[in-house]
A and B are shown apart, each in its own frame.
Chain A
């Protein structure tokens, strides 16, 4: 089974400064159709998760352009160019390439303000 890891698990950041979260998979996430099904989700305190990025680097509608996703194969990154107070929460990566039986989430990275 594919295992997803994230680092760091906790990320204190200064407002206005950049932040970066790494996500790694134990198997390549390149699907036989040529696509890479790696998504990023944000979960603010007390809220449901919300997707930010799909297929590595495609931002969802309404997601600020300070969020960007990159990577390939087994190594992926979510970057926030300038952290704002509303970005506090937990960020999860998730693979959908190796389906079935289902999706695999990373353990989550908690972002808070220093």
Chain B
């Protein structure tokens, strides 16, 4: 059974940094592209970032986070990361780790989410 477990969420001040982790199990992590999706309180889903399978040489970002967020993966630890810098109030959201199926053009599994709150 696929399991994705996010950690690292919390309260941070505007301009601060946070790193989220997603521990994956139940599948061969290195074989799959992954990504992050967020959901602001009471709002819809927003794609944040994606990374290719294998070594993760290809990364993609939504315009709203480009230059501030960095996605990475450590296949030896079966873990996906997102480093979030220069955080803004509008980055407040639940961040979901997402597994992409072969071909990468959908999401077939989601984590339980990690809440990031950016506030003074």
Contact = CB atoms under 8 A, between A and B. Distances in A.
A60 B61 CA distance: 27
Contacts of A107: 44
A108 B47 contact: no
A96 B105 contact: yes
Contacts of A34: none
A51 B106 contact: yes
B50 A102 contact: yes
Contacts, number: 68
B106 A102 contact: no
A101 B112 contact: no
Contacts of A25: none
Interface string A35-50: 1010101010000111
Contacts of A105: 44-47
Interface string A79-98: 00000000000101010110
B45 A102 contact: no
Contacts of B96: 48-49
Nearest to B105: A96
Contacts of A74: none
A101 to B, nearest CB: 5
Given A49-B96, A50-B110, A102 B44 contact: no
Nearest to A36: B105
A104 B44 CA distance: 11
Given A92-B45, A107-B44, A102 B60 contact: yes
Contacts of B50: 100, 102
Query: Which of B48, B107, B112, B113 has the largest number of chain A CB atoms within 10 A?
Result: B107
Contacts of A104: 47
14 contacts: A37-B106, A39-B106, A41-B45, A48-B110, A48-B113, A49-B45, A49-B107, A54-B101, A54-B106, A92-B44, A94-B45, A102-B62, A103-B107, A105-B46
Interface of A: 31, 35, 37, 39, 41, 43, 48-51, 54-55, 60, 90, 92, 94, 96-97, 99-108
